[in-house]
């Protein structure tokens, strides 16, 4: 199994991300190979390390930074680490690719360079978030700012297959909205509601509109939305979780840390809510391997590499092909 890793273009120094690569290497199931894409300066600094045979380097002559305009950057910087990684994925030189770089550029490059699954017009970002029950697959979380109703239905099908690959036999699908009534929301969302309701299937269930506050109750396994709303929802949830964790840690410090039960409770909750414990967002809809956009933390990078291998082993693309047909 061949996995590419992009060290460039994120807010985190490449050297820190490479530590996550070494951490993930210990957890991945052999046989596998990790191809690290970075600039000559970074690769030279890493070449002096005592590395295993499973890690190799690939030179990137350019970088797409976080501040770059996505579409022009993808077209002009064909030797950037991000575009090179996706090119290797498209040519089947890699089975999976992980980056912490520019999200817009990742989606733009995926749309331009990758074949789409039958019936899929746009790639979408899928992220798993915690709930009282199983993690909820939220799609789209930033790939497509404006969506038609048909796009939302296509996203739902992709996320359903993802959850089935995670072992959920009959995923419950909800449409993120400002109310549960069928006539709530924009015209596109109302149309998507009608389309999802009309799609009768024995292996998934459409539960209707869902308000943001109910998502974490575990009422749905798939949450469908456009990329603008989904990204705001996701970032708000991450910020709220971070605030709650910090407040509980501060409270624990104030009352003293004598209680091992209290310490364990706060630790367990922190692990459950911390978004860096989750592998980032899957680029869904492409028909040539697994691409994941992770957070700019080493922990998220390591999780993303393990998730990439797991999805390849489960033949996620093959499962999607069966479903879209």
Cα–Cα distance between 283 and 213 in angstroms, integer?
25
Peptide bond into 140 cis (omega under 30): yes
Angle between helix 149-165 and helix 187-198 axes, rounded to 10 deg? 50
**What is the architecture of the domain spanning 124-283?**
3-Layer(aba) Sandwich (3.40)
Q: Cβ atoms within 10 A of the Cβ of 123, count?
A: 26
CA distance 10 to 5: 12
Region(s) of the chain under CATH 3.40.718.10: 1-116+285-314, 124-283
Where are the strands (E) in 232-284, listed by range?
281-284
Of 182, 184, 185, 212, give the one whose Cα is nearest residue 196: 182
**Can you give the pLDDT at residue 102?**
93
Joined together, the tokens standing for residue 17 give 């991300």
Give residue 271's pLDDT.
66
Contact 217, 130 (CB under 8 A): no
pLDDT tens digits for range 219-275:
999 999 999 999 999 989 888 888 888 888 787 777 665 667 667 777 676 666 666
Match 């690939």 to its residue by tokens: 58
Tokens representing 148 are: 């038609």
Q: Model confidence over 37-66: pLDDT tens digits?
A: 999 999 999 887 778 889 999 999 999 999
Domain spanning 1-116+285-314, CATH class: alpha beta
Residues of the chain predicted below pLDDT 50: none
The per-residue pLDDT for 166 is 86
Contact (CB, 8 A) for 99 and 281: no
């Amino acid at each position: 199994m061949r996995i590419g890793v992009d060290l460039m273009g994120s807010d985190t120094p490449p050297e820190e991300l490479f530590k996550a690569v070494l951490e993930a290497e210990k957890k991945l199931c052999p046989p596998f190979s990790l191809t690290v894409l970075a600039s000559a300066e970074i690769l030279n600094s890493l070449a002096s390390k005592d590395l295993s045979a499973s890690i190799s380097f690939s030179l990137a002559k350019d970088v797409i930074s976080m501040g770059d305009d996505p579409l022009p950057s993808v077209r002009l910087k064909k030797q950037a680490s991000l575009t090179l990684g996706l090119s290797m994925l498209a040519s089947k030189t890699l089975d999976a690719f992980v980056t912490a770089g520019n999200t817009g550029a990742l989606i733009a490059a995926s749309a331009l360079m990758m074949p789409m699954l039958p019936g899929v017009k746009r790639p979408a970002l899928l992220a798993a978030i915690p709930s009282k029950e199983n993690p909820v697959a939220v799609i789209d979380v930033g790939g497509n700012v404006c969506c038609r109703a048909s796009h939302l239905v296509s996203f739902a099908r992709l996320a359903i297959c993802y959850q089935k690959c995670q072992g959920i036999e009959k995923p419950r699908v909800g449409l993120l909205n400002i109310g549960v009534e069928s006539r709530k929301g924009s015209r596109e969302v109302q149309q998507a509601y009608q389309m999802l309701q009309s799609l009768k299937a024995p292996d998934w269930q459409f539960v209707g509109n869902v308000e943001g506050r109910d998502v974490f109750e575990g009422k749905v396994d798939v949450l469908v939305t456009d990329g603008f709303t989904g990204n705001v929802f996701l970032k708000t949830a991450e910020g709220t979780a971070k605030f709650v964790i910090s407040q509980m840690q501060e409270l624990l410090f104030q009352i003293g840390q004598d209680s091992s039960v209290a310490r364990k409770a706060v630790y367990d909750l922190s692990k459950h809510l911390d978004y860096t414990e989750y592998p980032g967002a899957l680029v869904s809809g492409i028909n040539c391997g697994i691409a994941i956009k992770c957070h700019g933390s080493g922990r998220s990078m390591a999780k993303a590499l393990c998730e990439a291998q797991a999805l390849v082993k489960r033949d996620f693309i093959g499962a999607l092909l069966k479903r879209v047909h």
